[in-house]
Every structure is written in structure tokens, then in C-alpha cells.
Chain A
Amino acid sequence: MVSTFGSLATAYSGLTAARAGIDVTGQNIANAGTVGYTRQRVTQSSVPAVQTGFVRGTAALAGQGVSVDGIARLGSLTLDAGLRAATGSSAWAQTRATALSTLEGGLQEPGKNGLATKLDAFWSSWGDLAAHPDDPGAASSVIAAASTVASTLASGSEAVDDQWSTVRSTAATQVGQLNDAATQVADLNGRIRATLAGGGNANELLDHRDQLTQQIAGLAGGTVRTNTDGTVDVLLGGNPLVQGDTVRTVELAGGARLADGEPVSLRWTSGSAGTVPLDGGSIGGALTLLAPASGGSGGALAEASATYDRVATQLATAVNTAHAKGSTPTGATGAPFFALAAGGLAAQGLSVVPTDGSGLATRNAAGQLDDSFADTLSRLGTATGGADRTWATFVAGVGSASRTAASETTLTGLALTSARTQQQSGAGVDLDEENVALLSYQHAYQGAARVLTAVDEMLDTLINRVGLVGRG
């Protein structure tokens, strides 16, 4: 038998444990909608009876009540890691699919606003000029159609330029976010280590840090390594971005404009210098888009720009070669039709030389009207290796790439949904479950209070009623 008031202490421990349970349940319910919150549970254990010595050593004794050991965080490191990996690959695919969709939208193909139709109109205008070589109307429609082709090429090329710059500046902003997140992770690492060392509860800090490491995974992929002191290391390409409470910074280096043709990469700005290889994340996706052109296998945007240039060059060469064979009404032979500005992108420097019929090759060497030159020009559109063929191949290529990227996005999106569902299945708050827990803690509290009443009444009997038999 323990001390007289021992049972009161036991009942009190029950009250405390129930109240702790209700507090934690309250915290769970309050955070049912909080993004990144991981549900918590009170861990409690029974207190064994005290050995009181040899006199009563063999007597059966009840335990000493319950002790609240801590508040457990019911997350799973494996599921969290799965979610991070899925976030990284989904963000990577999403970035690429969005950019490719924008790129193919800008082509305006197939349809009457695309370059293919503009080229067809240009070739047809030569056909009309062949039928009416002396008609100033036919001549000006050739020049107008050529100007339309030139401006379509220029605006298409400029749109790709702009898109490249937009993707690059977005990536630069994301690198800033990456550095911020890394700094915060390092800071939280320090606080968590201190809290845990002091025996405190760092659950909410852990939630916050998990959110940040997930954000880092979405930005740049990478891996997270958990240490025994409660801190985590974040590794990018095998090298630590965050290690304990120290952090390294990165920056976007390389070409500032598409025309520079330099690769854009992520580099360490502190510690040992070097390029950071990225295996996922939106920055990783953006870097693949920003890569310079290399014979069709380079970055999508640079390849698009190179194709616009190639179309412009092929067009100018083929038309000028055919046009130079004829004579203009003023008797000049070898007159160019298209001019390419020296330097810069060919697609943006294409211009039409003649301003009216006097600059068009509608005559033969004898100065008579000759439709054969215009007829040859009208048939260049179907030539193999011509600008039209290059353009058609490019459009189909962009279409396929965009289609592949879109289906990749769908797949990684499904993987992300599945990973998030798995993770939420373990870590998410279920209101039904919390209600049941609340009920059971409430009853536990009521029960403990009832025990307290029973002990109180027992003591009352002992103190106030014992030895009063027979008194009036």
C-alpha cells in the first residue's frame, strides 16, 4: 500500500494525460486545413508501482498512474522523400510543357495565320506576276506578299527571343527563392537541434522545414539526408546546399540573351566553384529550355530561333538565285529580291529590295516580257530542301515535342497526386478520427475525475466518520 494520498496522485496523472490528449487533438483539429501540417499524438505510458522495501515486498501493488512521454509526429520519412521526388519531376515536366505549348501556340499552324500560308501566298503572287508581267498591281502584290513573309519571320523570331528572356528571368527569380529557402532550412536546422537537445517539442518547426525542403525539390530537385541530431542536409547534384546550419548559395550564370548562344547554368557562388547539375525541378526544366542550339538537339527555344533563321536564309538564297537570272524593266540583270542584314539573326534582318515593278525580273535579256522567271519562282515552294519543307518539318517537330512534354506532365502529375495522397494518408488530419480521440480523452478525463471523487469520499469516511459509531 502506498501513502494515503497516493491514489489522489494517480487520479491526477490521469487528468493531466487526458488534458494533454485534448490539447493535442485540439491542435490537430485547428490545423486540419493547414498545408504541410503533420498530425500529432500524445505518447503516454503507465507508471509502474514503487518497490517499497522488504516488509511489503511481495504484496501486489497497483501502478502509479500515467505519464505523458511526449508528442509524436506521425509522418513518414519515406513518404516525404517520395513526395519530394515527385514534386521535383512534376515541376520539371510542367515547366517544359508550358514553354513548349507557348512556343507551338506562337507558330499559328495549321491555319491561315501561319507562316506556311504566308509562303503559299507569296509563291502564288509570283504565279500571278507570271500571268501579268506588265501589271503594276501584280508586281506590288508580290512585294506585299514578300513583306508579309519577312515580317512574319521577324515577329516569330522576336517572339522566341522574348520567350527565352522570360524563361530566363523566371529561372533567375526561382534561383533567388531557392537561396531564400536554403537559408531558412539552415536556420530551422539550428533551432530544431537546440530545441531537441533541450528536450522540447519541435514538431511545428519540422513541419515548416519539410515545407521548405519540398519547395527546394520543386525548384531544383535534389535529395534530403536526415541527421541524428534532428537536422537535415539538402544535396544538389551530390554537393550540400544546406549542411546543418550552414548554407551555400547558387546563382544563374551564362548567356543573358538568346543571341549570345551561351549555355545557361546554375553555379555555386560560395565554397568551391562549379556547375550544379540538376536532375529535376522547375529551374532544371528551364535550363534544358535555355540551352543553346546544336544541330536540332539543343534547347527547344534556341532551336526554334535557329529554324526561323534557316527558313529566312533558304528563302532569300533560293529566291535571289532564280530572280537574278531575269532582267528588270530597266535592263538590269542579277538584281536581288531579298536582302539579309549583316550580323544579328537572319530572320529579323530579312527585307525586300524592290519597291515596285521596276525592280522585278519580268524581262528576258532582249528586254521583252518573259514569264519564265516568275514561273520558276512560283514553283520554289514545292522544291525539296526549300524553306517550306524546313518549316513544315520544324512545325511537326515542335508539335511532337509539345505532345511528348504534355503527356510527361500528365504522368508526373499523376505520380505527384499519388505521392501526395500516400503522404496525406499518413500525415493528414482526419476529422472523424480526431472526434473519436476527443471523445475518448473526454471520457478518460471524466473517469479520472470520478476516481478522484471516490478517493475523496473514501478519505472523508476515514477522517470524519471513523470512530463515531453510537454518537448521537
Chain B
Amino acid sequence: MITRVTTQMSIASATERLQANAARVAEATQRATTLQAIAKPSDDPVGTGSSMQVRKEQAAAAQYTRNADDAVGWLATTDSSLRNAYSVLTKVRDLTVQAANSGTMGDTDRDAFVTQFRALRADLEATANATYGTRSVFAGSSTDAAAYDPATGFATATTAVTRRVGDSQTVRVDTSGAAAFGTGDTSAFAVIDRIVADLQNGVNVNPKLNDVDTAIDAVRTAQADVGVRHAAALTAQDTLKSTGIALENRRAGIEDLDLAGAVLDLQVQQTTYQAALAVTAKVLQPTLMDYLR
């Protein structure tokens, strides 16, 4: 118990208290203006660790989202190319049936058929060389200029092209051109070439319908495979979207302050400070000097 209170003591302790109040007001102001619960690691060392972990997960999720978008784009391109190939081959089949049923043809008719078959073959070639960005969708990891070269066939890929859409989930985006369009003598291109040759040699093209059907089946199988992977990429996209929201909520929960709470806290500190100022001004004024004459 202090029995003697001196002028210096009152002034010193008043100064100290005002200083402490001012510091609290400054801190509350900083919190209310930045709305950050953790301005520096010592505010909450454990929270800082969690915050860094969440930010890392957010960066990874953003990366996976970009990858998933890319995978969806790549697979959509593949899908539309295969649909295109399917419709070209259907036309080839229709034309083959027509040619087989035309009986004896004149040169003009035959030339018309040949021209149409060649146009469809060119279409199919363009489809086989479809690109997504700078990459041929049917070339896989190959660095060749085109996926399909009429002279050498499809480029060979040594590894699959994948996109990482989760910590332990990847989606394969490339499709083997050789599988979808066939290789060597059984390829769709070779089938069209043989039909053209038969037409020119006057051979009935009807037996070639089986070959065309086989080529169509190959394309449809590839299409189904792409469809499954496309669906997986789309699901990953959706999952990543909700993961992103959940992560942002977690980050906000750790790092951000509630506006109402922060403002209220600031108001309380300000009121306390003003009260301290008013009280100090009243207490420090009088000494005995004021009453002696």
C-alpha cells in the first residue's frame, strides 16, 4: 500500500495509462482498417501456420482448376474431331453403298464418285491433324509437326499426356490417333484408298462396306473413351470449384476479422481513451497552490 502520493507519481502514472490507452486505440484502428486478424506471426503463431497451409492448398487448387479447364478444352476438341471423323466415315459408307448399287457406271459417274471419296479422305486427314493450342490432339507426347503424315502414318507417342486435377488424381487428355483411325492397311485412310482403287478398276465396292464399318467402330470406341475422360475432367472442375470456396472460407476464418466486431472494439477503445483523457485532465489540475492565498 502506497501511503504517500506525489505530484510526479500521479503525472507519471497518468502518462503511462494514457500511453497504454493510445496504444490500444492504435491497435484497434489498425485491425478495423485492415480487417486482418493476423497482421504478423506473433498475433497468432498457430494461426499463421494454418494460414500458410491454407494459402498453399489454395494455390494448388487454383493450379488444378487451370489444369482441369485445360483438360476439358483438350478433350472437347478431341470429342468434336472424333464426331467429325464419324460423320465423314458415315458419308463414305453412304457413298460406298451408292457406288455399289449404281450398276454399270460411265466414266463421268465414276470420276464424280472418286472426286467425292478423295474430298472425304482430305476431310478425314484434316480431322486427324486437329490441334488444341499448339499440340495435335492425336499426337500424344510426340513433337512431330503433324499427327498424321500420309507417308508415314500416325506419329508414335512414348508417354501419355496427362493433366493433374487433384493431389492424387490425373486425367489423360491425349488420344491415340492410331487407335481411333487405325494403322497401315486397316486404317480408315487405306480403306478409302482401296475403295477408290476398286472403283477405278471397275470392281464392285460392296465388300468394302465391312472395312468401312470396322473403321466407324474404331472411331466410336475412341469417342466413348474420350467421353468418359471428358466426364471425369468436368467432375473434377465442379469439385475444384466447391473446394476453392471451402478453402477461401477457411482462409477467411483464420485471417479475416468480423467488421462489426472490429468496429465495435475500436469504438470501445476510443470511448475508454476519451474517458481517460477527461479524467486525467480533471485529476492533474488542482494543487494546494490553487487554494492558498
Contacts and interface: CB of A to CB of B under 8 A. Distances in A.
A127 B163 CA distance: 9
Interface stretch (A61-69, A155-163, A332-340, A415-423): A415-423
B63 interface: yes
Contacts of B60: 120, 123-124, 381-382
A144 interface: no
Contact of B45 (A132, A396, A439): A396
A395 B41 contact: yes
Interface residues of B, number: 55
A403 B63 contact: no
Contacts of A381: 56, 60
Interface string B46-82: 1011011101100110111011001000000000000
A447 interface: no
A106 to B, nearest CB: 10
A69 B40 CA distance: 62
A104 B2 contact: no
B63 A424 contact: no
Interface in A415-471: 417, 420-422, 424-426, 428-433, 435-436, 439
B53 A392 contact: yes
B63 A395 contact: no
Nearest to A439: B292
Nearest to B142: A368
B162 A134 contact: no
A117 B41 contact: no
Interface in B55-112: 55-56, 59-60, 62-64, 66-67, 70
A400 interface: yes
A388 B292 contact: no
B159 A425 contact: no
Nearest to B16: A417
B8 interface: yes
A246 to B, nearest CB: 35
Contact of B2 (A378, A396, A425): A425
A436 B43 CA distance: 51
Interface stretch (B133-141, B199-207, B214-222, B263-271): B133-141
Most chain B CB within a 10 A radius of its CB, from A368, A398, A435, A436: A368
A114 B53 CA distance: 13
Contacts of B12: 420-421, 424
Contacts of B45: 396-397, 399-400, 403
Interface in A363-408: 363-364, 366-372, 375, 378-379, 381-382, 388, 392-393, 395-400, 402-403, 406
A377 B3 CA distance: 72
B278 to A, nearest CB: 22
B52 A395 contact: yes
Nearest to A406: B42
Nearest to B70: A131
Contacts of A364: 141, 158-159
A396 B135 contact: no
Contact of A421 (B7, B9, B162, B289): B9
Nearest to A110: B51
Nearest to B45: A399
A131 B133 CA distance: 11
Given A368-B142, A368-B159, A116 B288 contact: no
Contacts of B143: 134, 363, 367-369
Given A110-B51, A432-B287, A123 B59 contact: yes
Contacts of B52: 109-110, 114, 116, 392, 395
Contacts of B46: 396
A128 interface: yes
A184 B185 CA distance: 107
B272 to A, nearest CB: 18
Contact of A431 (B48, B133, B167, B287): B287
Contacts of A32: 7-8
Contacts of B8: 32-33, 424, 428-429
A79 to B, nearest CB: 11
A367 B156 CA distance: 12
B179 interface: no
Interface in A266-304: none
Contact of A403 (B5, B9, B42, B55): B42
B6 A425 contact: yes
B137 to A, nearest CB: 13
B142 to A, nearest CB: 6
A93 interface: no
A229 interface: no
A101 interface: yes
Contacts of A172: none
A76 to B, nearest CB: 11
21 contacts: A101-B40, A104-B40, A110-B55, A116-B56, A127-B63, A130-B163, A135-B133, A367-B143, A368-B159, A370-B158, A393-B49, A396-B45, A399-B45, A399-B48, A402-B40, A421-B12, A425-B5, A425-B6, A428-B7, A429-B8, A430-B5
Given A116-B52, A420-B12, 4 more contacts: A116-B56, A366-B158, A371-B161, A395-B41
Nearest 4 interchain pairs by C-beta: A399-B41, A428-B6, A399-B45, A120-B59
